[in-house]
A and B are shown apart, each in its own frame.
Chain A
Amino acid sequence: MAMEVTQVLLNAQSIDGTVRKHAEESLKQFQEQNLPSFLLSLSGELANDDKPVDSRKLAGLILKNALDAKEQHRKFELVQRWLSLDANVKTQIKTCLLNTLTSTVADARSTSSQVIAKVAGIELPQKQWPELIVSLLSNVHQLPAHVKQATLETLGYLCEEVSPDVVEQDHVNKILTAVVQGMNASEMNNDVRLAATRALYNALSFAQANFSNDMERDYIMRVVCEATQSAELKIRQAAFECLVSISSTYYEKLAPYMQDIYSITAKAVREDEEPVALQAIEFWSSICDEEIDILEEYGSDFTGNSDIPCFYFIKQALPALVPLLLEILLKQEEDQDQEEGAWNIAMAGGTCLGLVARTVGDDIVPLVIPFIEENIAKPDWRQREAATYAFGSILEGPSPDKLLHIVNVALSFMLSALTKDPNNHVKDTTAWTLGRIFEFLHGSTIGTPIITQANCQQIITVLLQSMKDTPNVAEKACGALYFLAQSYEDVGPSSPLTPFFQEIVQSLLTVTHREDAGESRLRTAAYETLNEVVRSSTDETAPMVLQLVPVIMMELHKTLEGQKLSSDEREKQGELQGLLCGCLQVIIQKLGSSEPTKYVFMQYADQIMGLFLRVFACRSATVHEEAMLAIGALAYAAGLDFAKYMPDFYKYLEMGLQNFEEYQVCAVTVGVVGDICRALEEKILPYCDGIMTQLLKDLSSNQLHRSVKPPIFSCFGDIALAIGENFEKYLMYAMPMLQSAADLSAHTANVDDDMTEYTNSLRNGILEAYSGIFQGFKNSPKTQLLIPYAPHILQFLDSMYMEKDMDELVMKTAIGLLGDLADTLGSNAGSLIQQSLTSKDFLNECLSSKDHMIKESAEWARLAINKAISV
């Protein structure tokens, strides 16, 4: 049955495009004609030591891809396909895979490990391939080193692939034993030890029971700590990665080991190579994350019944930890890259210091201040930068009172450093620190203002000046201004920024025109800062915001004048259009929020809409997401007047709804449909056939990202609210969709938080759709059309109630829907409603809810039901 595939596989990697293409075609054909034979051939190729390594690797890769895919729907198909294969074929393939683990060719072994894990990921949850783990572990001790390494690697991948609950505890114990033994210092082969250490990283989530046993835990911890002392860098790194993972998975078990771990990490931070040192710092960052979460839970819930108690490790380690972190702040690189994603030990140290500050609050301040004072004015830029970075890092966490004094002292120093310091890094960090000051220590919640009339002028002048500095510094200066503007968001009718508004806007526009504005994403920063300045502005500056409209329009117009563009230029054009549309979105929102400014702004509406349509026309297959968002804002401002734009705009709306691939575009467009429904009300009717068709297609598509589906359901509600009983003709399509989605969402095993969250958002969308439909039909003679759907809806509500896993939003929407149903159907549904659990237990629960939104909806439902059953 197997076929000779070596040459095709090699050709598929040829540098000659035609050859490659031809080979790919053949492989595809082969797969389509006879899948079992194809997979068998591939596994045979992978297992055959006489074959070239390249064809073996590709064979393994294709096998792997035949078992798994990124897209959820595709993955599901592949799993089903594998499960339905002939059992003999599968056995043969699996045998080949296991045999490959003994190959002397490292690449073949490694590839096979991954494929085995994929198969296990499919079969173990189905209780198939029960002998896998036993056979892997059967004689692991006697195996030659390379096979042992491959076996451990396979176990590692397996643990990554499979969820812990499908592996029985006995097997878990065996896996852990094998892995920990492989990690042991007595293991002389470094490859084996490395594979074991990496395997442990994945196996940690299986070790719940073992970590509850003191002896086993002690043993595992000892082995991990020993591995951090290995002579081999990769082993040390992997061991520290295990420690990081343990710190979050088994935080509450760490107390006995903290002393040792501190010594190990401190030594690594000070002496080891960067990849290891980074992981050592990450350990402490991870502990901070845990404690911040726990303390936040303490704070939000007065009963303090967090599952895990806080051990205050950071607080205890503080006197030693802070000096360590401060020390590494001085290890900057000479040409430290300021771009996004840059990462080095000094940056990791600062990040960790920031987390420590958030964990312990005030206690960190006296430990850091001397370092700042000592270094801030030193001749070596490293010292000045480190001092500034330390300062900036601790601004979030401690109480403002504790910081205000030093911030007040430091502010003028920083302002002068930002203009006068000769070093670019220092200026960069200084601007960032100013931004942090404005973000955390200035704003309406802070009693004593840091920024006064006296220094406001100077701050603005310095920031605007710094926007002319190198792109990285200018970007940070924009950031600082962003937070400054944000801090005046709630300031009331008069903002201290008002006198500088014109100057700020002018400077930001100048930045956007800098030749080097593409570096450090400076242009984006400038536009987004402009947006924030506009968003937080007050009525006083409304005339100036109005003046900005034609300016931004002109910029947008300029982007449309290009001739033939290269793909690179086209991408840049799209990006700039995005920034400008984003800016217009904010301006429209701002000016639309008060009647007088809206009135004036609307004089531009026709022109702006014309520009947006031209932005859309720049592209053939897709619509511009930011332009779409801006149109949503425009629709809201225009209200019924938006109807005149619909004939031209409609095709792009449809195009956006059709964009499965870029699901964010689809999601944004769905949102805009909602905006337009609220703006146009029944005037949207002529477009509803097209929109509904598209939305229904979206829902039935497997390709569309699932996150778009709940908003589509909500959008049904928006449409129904807008067109009322005219929704009648869509009932026969929309209702079955809602019903089957409801059935699905009522009983899902919520395996993880993501799934639970998704289920709840799906339910919310479904409920909003129903509510919109019922409200839309209210007072219509066609109300009776909805009666047949009532039993199912009530069942849906009942079953959700019984599952007891609704979040608060769903509860509110659900009980509101009960009211809408009773309100619209009245006595027609009286007896149905009375029979439902929802109308009794669930309603009572909601009536006594602490959440006032739930309570309000419940109150409404109660009245509507009383009316329905009293008639």
Chain B
Amino acid sequence: MKIIMKMCSVIWFLVGNVAAQRRRQNAVTVGKERRESLVRAKRLCRVGTSADGEVSSDSDMMVDEEQSILEMQTSSAVEELKSAVAYQGKGAMQKRVNALRELRRLLSRFEFPPIETALKAGAIPVLVQCLAFGSPDEQLLEAAWCLTNIAAGKQEETKALLPALPLLIAHLGEKSSSPVAEQCAWALGNVAGEGEEFRNVLLSQGALPPLARMMLPNKGSTVRTAAWALSNLIKGPDPKPATELIKVDGLLDAILRHLKRADEELTTEVAWVVVYLSALSNVATSLLVKSGVLQLLVERLATSNSLQLLIPLSSPDLSAALLSRQEAAWVLSNIAAGSVEHKQLIHSSEALALLLHLLSTSPFDIKKEVAYVLGNLCVSPTKGEGKPKLIQEHLVSLVGRGCLSGFIDLVRSADIEAARLGLQFMELVLRGMPNDEGTKLVEREDGIDAMERFQFHENEDLRNMANGLVDKYFGEDYGLDE
């Protein structure tokens, strides 16, 4: 006779026994999963390689095949997600997270992410469902990540994201965990980067205030992401968002605080925000100047001005630092393009010496930015067309401190923008230096030679500019006076 007492259904058990069993089972499962993923990896990567050494003729087909497998995987991942979302039983959450993770993996791993397929398969509505309030963090995170990658696609693909925006914005709030908020900010940043109409939608849905508040604490990754998203959001051309942003309580202080930090990546993103603030909004620019942000940026330029930094881009570690200097310089240039008072401020600050030094010694990118600042310092804003009005005092002092050769170097560069800056400055010198000193200075620095390179240049604008200058100042009559 059997004893029919179902010990298996006893709810008292010793944890050790059950746990050990689970642990062993886990080891078996892990082994199976690894075998599985190895086999899958081999199959998928094989698709790209041809067995019999046949070459290019069918390589397109291979790519197609790879793409079609990827697309197939993507639609089944979306289907899996749909069924996981519908499922309510035990382990539902894990099921959803696994499905989301798979989809996210597909959307992130490849050179051409299968966004279109995901959209066709109906990913957006189900992803939006996954963003429901009260969902566990991991689920929110994965869903937002998927949306981030979709938002990184083409414009029409980004458009599909519109229904998800309100929830993404909602999860930026203080109640969300920081990884979730960051991921949502990232997604929104991608959307904002897509164009003005998207920015307007986001702004009308109230994306700006919560993003701005994410700038306030000191958590590095959060601030960095929020700053990046904000710089996309306030890109304009409408200056209102920038003005709105600068007025957010505590934001200016936060910018100053973050700019002082050692984290170069972080200051880079924050610097971009300052760039757009100063580029777009006069209100913001005034507030920034008053707050001493200028001083800070200069300090940053100064402290980064180590010998190491002048070794052009040879070390990857430095490029991040250089970037930051570049952005800082661009902020200065925007300020320098502002009112005469702003310019005086820079001109009289210790920044000037530094800028001059940078013009002769820094890597090309920075040199260009610096040139722009210096050039701007010498002119005042004009209304409408016509040549900018000279601030002779600044010009004389700058040329006196030897900046002309730096600009003439730029004229010789292959970069059209840089060359234009150089030519424009040369024009200022020729036109504005007292006692016609300009022509002599330019000649002495081999400026004529530099300009003659444009005689037959393919860029009409530069060609006309250079030829015009040569004709006007060094024409047939030139030198006869002597």
Show the binding face of A for B, using Cβ within 8 Å: 198, 201, 238, 241, 244-245, 278-279, 282, 285-286, 289, 296, 299-300, 340-341, 343, 347, 350-351, 354-355, 392-393, 432, 435, 444-445, 447, 475-476, 478-479, 482, 490-493, 520-521, 524-525, 527-529, 531-532, 582, 585-586, 589, 629, 632-633, 636, 668, 671, 674-675, 678, 714, 717-718, 721, 768, 771-772, 775, 778-779, 816, 819-820, 823-824, 826, 850, 852, 855-856, 859-860, 863, 867, 871
Contacts and interface: CB of A to CB of B under 8 A. Distances in A.
28 contacts: A340-B13, A347-B10, A392-B11, A444-B93, A475-B14, A476-B15, A478-B15, A482-B19, A490-B136, A521-B14, A524-B16, A524-B17, A525-B19, A528-B16, A528-B20, A582-B20, A589-B30, A671-B27, A678-B35, A768-B35, A778-B42, A778-B51, A816-B39, A823-B43, A855-B72, A856-B76, A859-B69, A867-B51
| SS of B interface (majority) | helix
Interface stretch (B1-9, B253-261, B456-464): B1-9
B39 A241 contact: no
Contacts of B10: 343, 347, 351
Contacts of A850: 79
Interface string B69-112: 10011001101100000001100111001000000000000000
Contact of A525 (B14, B73, B76, B138): B14
B15 A525 contact: yes
Nearest to A493: B179
Given A241-B4, A674-B31, A351 B23 contact: no
A401 B38 CA distance: 43
Contact of B49 (A393, A493, A779, A820): A779
A522 to B, nearest CB: 8
Given A289-B9, A859-B69, 17 more contacts: A296-B89, A340-B14, A445-B93, A445-B136, A475-B14, A525-B15, A532-B19, A582-B23, A629-B24, A629-B27, A675-B31, A772-B39, A823-B51, A852-B73, A856-B69, A859-B68, A859-B72
B43 A816 contact: yes
Contacts of A279: 4
A343 B5 contact: yes
B92 A285 contact: no
A351 B11 contact: yes
A396 to B, nearest CB: 8
Contacts of A824: 51
List 3 A-B pairs, minimum CB-CB distance, nearest first.
A852-B76, A524-B16, A479-B15
B80 A852 contact: yes
Contacts of A492: 137-138, 141, 177, 179
Contact of A282 (B4, B34, B76): B4
B35 A718 contact: yes
A270 to B, nearest CB: 20
B480 interface: no
Contacts of A859: 68-69, 72-73
Interface in B151-178: 177
B39 A721 contact: yes
A522 B144 CA distance: 44
Contacts of A491: 137
Contacts of B9: 285, 289, 351, 355
Interface residues of B, number: 56
B38 A524 contact: no
Contacts of B28: 671
A678 B34 contact: yes
B23 A531 contact: yes
B85 to A, nearest CB: 13
Contacts of B46: 778, 823
Given A490-B136, A678-B34, A856-B73, A350 B19 contact: no
B16 A521 contact: yes
A855 B76 contact: yes
B47 interface: yes
B52 interface: yes
A299 B92 CA distance: 12
A432 B15 CA distance: 10
Contacts of A478: 15-16
A868 to B, nearest CB: 9
A782 B205 CA distance: 64
B14 A721 contact: no
B43 A528 contact: no
User: Which of B13, B15, B65 has the most chain A CB atoms closer than 10 A to its own CB?
Assistant: B15
A404 B474 CA distance: 90
B15 A852 contact: no
Given A432-B12, A490-B94, A717-B35, A856 B137 contact: no
Nearest to A237: B1
B57 to A, nearest CB: 12
B134 interface: yes
User: Which of B7, B23, B79, B136 has the most chain A CB atoms closer than 10 A to its own CB?
Assistant: B23
A250 to B, nearest CB: 15
A524 B76 contact: no
Contacts of A444: 93, 136-138
Contacts of B89: 296, 299-300
A444 B180 CA distance: 14
Contacts of B177: 492
A231 B9 CA distance: 30
A426 to B, nearest CB: 15
A528 B38 contact: no
Contacts of B6: 282, 285-286, 289
Interface string B47-69: 10101100000000000010011
A339 to B, nearest CB: 9
Nearest to A445: B93
Contact of A779 (B15, B51, B69, B138): B51
Contacts of B69: 856, 859-860, 863
A826 B52 contact: yes
Contacts of A521: 14, 16-17
Contacts of B77: 852
A721 B34 contact: no
A357 to B, nearest CB: 10
